[in-house]
A and B are shown apart, each in its own frame.
Chain A
Amino acid sequence: MFQSTGEIIDGVAKITLKGELDAAASGQFKDTIEKMAEQNPKKVVMFMEELDFMASSGLRVLIFAKQKMGAGVDIHLIGCQEPVLNSLEMSGFHHSVYLQETYSEV
């Protein structure tokens, strides 16, 4: 069961992902991204600690998020689990985002 929730706090889009992000779930994730993008956030922070798996469709939505938000909006991925981290590194997407173990507001 996949869940994605998002909110904008002080111009920062905070998105929490839980469960398994497979092809069937990627539409829900994409909807969340689009809703956040409508509010023109200055930064995107995705909390990935409880995301157990990400298929290629999940990566596609991450790339979509990068392109939708624009080059000036940094994307931070927080607490990626090993399988997710592997997919990001092997596909090279880790160069396009900031990977952090924990999130600090500063």
Chain B
Amino acid sequence: MERLEKRIDVYPTHRHDTFKLRPGKPFPFGATMVPGGVNFSIYSSYATSCTLVLFEKESNEPMAEIPFNESFRVGNVWSMVVFDLDCEDIEYGYRMEGPFSPETGHRFDASKILLDPYAKAIGGRDTWGQTPDWQNVFPYRGRLVFEDFDWEDDHPLELPMEELVIYEAHVRSLTKHPSSGLKHPGTFAALKEKISHLKELGINCLELMPVYEFDEFENSRRNDETGELLFNYWGYSTVGFFAPKSGFAATGRLGMQVDEFKSLVKELHKSGIEVILDVVFNHTAEGNERGPTLSFRGIDNKTYYMLTPEGYYFNFSGCGNTLNCNNPVVRNLVLDCLRYWVAEYHIDGFRFDLAAILGRDSQGAPLANPPLLETLAYDPVLGRCKLIAEAWDAGGLYQVGSFPAYGRWAEWNGKYRDDVRKFLKGEPGMVGALSQRIQGSPDLYAWNDRGAAASINFITCHDGFTLFDLFAYNEKHNEANGEKNQDGGNDNDSWNCGVEGPTNDPEIKALRLRQIKNAWTILMLSQGIPMVLMGDEMGRTQDGNNNNYCHDSELNWLDWGLLEENSELFHFCKNLVAFRKAHPVLRRSGHLSNQDLSGCGYADITWHGTRAWQADWSDSSRVLAFMLCDHHSGDDFLYVAFNSHWDALDFELPQLPEGKKWHVAVNTGVEEVHEVGREKELSQGNFLVGPRSSIVLVGR
């Protein structure tokens, strides 16, 4: 280190006032600490000049404005080294001069101080919920980051995809409720204290809703009727792609959010839990032409955004603008960003919000071979991390089953959600579709040589009802969102079990609980990757709200009191997760063949109805049973029966090989779940499956 600092070839060649400078290196973009100084590098194709603006931390007035000498520009990149800066105590941004002519795509505004798109930490909004100074011309301030975190031997876990059980959660929602009993609620530090719960449930992958810098006050407003302040609470609108959200860190005010988040990742890894980040590369927080100029718009609007011929913003995201992801410059930004999170934060994978947008060209047309998706799939640094697409967008492009995968990408399987919901609700004609979903959706993926692990199976996620609400509400109840219940989807495929909303009717309450258990059973017994929503293991409700994006309140915060109130449900869920882990036959990477390829006398999956070996595929059928046999792995036989009929039905069980007997692992009809290895032996050859109930049997 000392030798580096004393390098004789790194010396100032220029001055600006008291600041010593020299031409910088164009790569890497961003602010990089180098011997004796900081290398600042930023790209713009159309800016006519660029000025580095330096502040002492939290100061309103700049300490210096240093224009980039024209000789410091290489191509379209301005770069310079500024020597002797106090890296701990400065914040920086840029002023860009250039044309303001929206009709040609340019919106330069030299009155604004712009955030570096590559800023690794961002100051200015350090405390969650603190009302911003709306007049501030430099609300988001780039900070320098030291890369000296003590990772010890930590490493991304690289769990096989098919082994994952994903838990989707929001940092603040998981830890903010007063019942959480946490010292620093709503923060990365607090989440560390809830790892024990995740371990007990048995999940091994935490998918975090946006954790990079976003503006919770974006489009904030009061609900006219209730007066409640509504936020951009979930955070699906990025300000800084490279920076963890300062307001999610208990140490944000001390500028230690990077350390705090890394510490969380390290602790999750120690517990065998991977970390997937939900990334939003489809749009930014700058909105449309009426939005603020924070960064991209003022640096190079025409490069970073998809623009109409008239210079307006294409809106495939439904959020005002669309990032121009297949422009090579933007593509590199996305790649650099993901590489950074993997290399510096040991992140295990990414879920891409509205990922279909990433496959559109600059005019919005879907590409057959999208360069960005291909680049990410084949990138060496990302080579072992998970890539998961939300394979649709707000512009109507729906690619579930056809997302360009390059052998790497998995998909949120929206078809799984829809079909399983309809079956559970008791809709006729769903048995055939359910059989495909249970097998890992070969109808969607096998044609393209994609295995079951391409399918992220989910019944609920942050968008839409919670699992409890799925069986407590027929209709959405979004009045609290202040949009007269016009927002949120209407195609929920939900069923309230007889009464809309809360009830004291014990029969309805029991039915709802049973339906929740049925849903968990289908999810954990399906091939593919199960994903559960935070709190569904304890009966979390959003009071029927299916578009909860704006509430910093108990509508989003997980009430940990439910864990005790619904302890039997939690016990059921964690046993099911354990059951899945104990049976490799449920976690195949390829698809089932429906044939006896091993010659053991049984196909790998066989289909049954109330009569063994005779599945009822008719439109009026509401029952499906199947048996799994994995001769190669030596796993037990498994028999699963789902009855979504309103009557109890007697199921004839398929006969096992000589010497083996069926044992009951799960029966949602009678609140029965047995720990793995302690299943109850059955003496009879048939099983009465209760109304709207599921059973799981083990043959050994």
A-side residues, CB < 8 A to B, are: 23, 26, 55-57, 59-60, 63-64, 66-67, 86-87, 89-93, 95-96
Evaluate contact between B189 and A89: CB separation under 8 angstroms.
yes
Evaluate contact between A91 and B263: CB separation under 8 angstroms.
yes
Evaluate contact between A92 and B89: CB separation under 8 angstroms.
no
Evaluate contact between A56 and B150: CB separation under 8 angstroms.
no
The interface stretch among B96-104, B248-256, B308-316, B601-609 is B248-256
Q: Which of B230-273 contact A (CB under 8 A)?
A: 249-251, 254-256, 259-260, 262-264, 266-267
The distance in angstroms between the C-alpha atoms of A63 and B149, with both chains bound, is 7
**Does B339 interact with chain A (Cβ within 8 Å)?**
no
Residues of B within 8 A of A67 (CB): 148, 150
Evaluate contact between B88 and A91: CB separation under 8 angstroms.
no
Evaluate contact between B89 and A90: CB separation under 8 angstroms.
no
The distance in angstroms between the C-alpha atoms of A57 and B144, with both chains bound, is 12
**Does B58 interact with chain A (Cβ within 8 Å)?**
no
Evaluate contact between B148 and A23: CB separation under 8 angstroms.
no
Assuming the contacts A23-B88, A55-B254, A56-B255, asked whether A92 and B148 have C-beta atoms less than 8 A apart, the reply is no
Q: List 21 A–B pairs whose Cβ atoms lie within 8 Å, in order of A's numbering.
A: A23-B89, A56-B254, A56-B256, A59-B256, A60-B88, A60-B146, A60-B148, A66-B150, A86-B250, A87-B251, A87-B254, A89-B189, A90-B263, A91-B259, A92-B260, A92-B267, A93-B150, A93-B259, A93-B263, A95-B266, A96-B150
Residues of B within 8 A of A86 (CB): 250
The distance in angstroms between the C-alpha atoms of A66 and B152, with both chains bound, is 11
Q: Which of B170-201 contact A (CB under 8 A)?
A: 184, 187-189
Evaluate contact between B266 and A92: CB separation under 8 angstroms.
yes
**Does B86 interact with chain A (Cβ within 8 Å)?**
yes
B-side residues, CB < 8 A to A, are: 86, 88-89, 146, 148-150, 152, 184, 187-189, 249-251, 254-256, 259-260, 262-264, 266-267
User: Within the complex, what minimum Cβ distance (angstroms) separates A54 from chain B?
Assistant: 9
The distance in angstroms between the C-alpha atoms of A59 and B254, with both chains bound, is 11
Assuming the contacts A23-B89, A26-B88, A55-B254, asked whether A92 and B259 have C-beta atoms less than 8 A apart, the reply is yes
User: Within the complex, what minimum Cβ distance (angstroms) separates A33 from chain B?
Assistant: 12
Evaluate contact between B259 and A59: CB separation under 8 angstroms.
yes
Residues of A within 8 A of B267 (CB): 92
User: Within the complex, what minimum Cβ distance (angstroms) separates B526 from chain A?
Assistant: 36
Q: Which of B86, B88, B255, B260 contacts A90 (CB 8 A)?
A: B260
User: Within the complex, what minimum Cβ distance (angstroms) separates A70 from chain B?
Assistant: 13
User: Within the complex, what minimum Cβ distance (angstroms) separates B156 from chain A?
Assistant: 17
Residues of A within 8 A of B263 (CB): 90-93, 95
Select from chain B the residue with minimum beta-carbon distance to A96.
Answer: B150
User: Within the complex, what minimum Cβ distance (angstroms) separates A27 from chain B?
Assistant: 10
The distance in angstroms between the C-alpha atoms of A55 and B88, with both chains bound, is 10
Evaluate contact between B251 and A91: CB separation under 8 angstroms.
yes
Evaluate contact between A63 and B256: CB separation under 8 angstroms.
no
The distance in angstroms between the C-alpha atoms of A91 and B150, with both chains bound, is 10
Residues of A within 8 A of B251 (CB): 56, 87, 90-91
Known: A56-B256, A87-B256. 20 other contacts (CB 8 A): A23-B86, A23-B89, A56-B259, A57-B88, A59-B256, A63-B146, A67-B150, A89-B189, A90-B188, A90-B251, A90-B256, A90-B260, A90-B263, A91-B251, A91-B256, A91-B260, A92-B150, A93-B263, A95-B150, A95-B263
User: Within the complex, what minimum Cβ distance (angstroms) separates A96 from chain B?
Assistant: 5
Most interface-central of B88, B146, B254 (chain A CB within 10 A): B254
Most interface-central of A57, A67, A92, A96 (chain B CB within 10 A): A92
